[in-house]
Amino acid sequence: QVQLVESGGGSVQAGASLGLSCVASGGTFRKFRMGWFRQAPGKEREFVAHSSWRFGSIYYTGYTESVEGRFTISRENAVNTVYLEMNNLKPEDTAVYYCAADPDNSGDYASGAEYDYWGQGTQVTVSS
């Protein structure tokens, strides 16, 4: 069983930065695919970013187009943590952000259905 605990949300002005953290317990974290998703009020959950294990210490990452160049996903395997650094935040980034884990590290990284474990979510609010 894998448990995920997020932290770091908050309320900021447009253009500001925020960092989210997600600590995992259970399983072999370094081999997990880790993803960040978000859900805005009245909208469906959407993929934001992923970090997927390839082999050894090699990972590849990917982002949804709307955050490309502004958000960065990273991970620190020694402390079982994945991060999402968010820069130049926009009001449309307002959402509850969730981290998710896929121990199988397979399938479509942008599909929430591929992820078996989810955090509780953390609110990010960006005002104009």
**Three-state secondary structure call for residue 64:** coil
- Strands 95-102 vs 33-39: parallel, antiparallel or unpaired: antiparallel
| pLDDT digits 0-9 by tens, 4-34 | 999 999 999 999 999 999 999 988 999 999 9
CB 71 within 8 A of CB 87: yes
- Give the C-alpha separation, 90 to 17, whole Å: 10
| pLDDT digits 0-9 by tens, 42-99 | 999 999 999 999 888 889 999 999 999 999 999 999 999 999 999 999 999 999 999 9
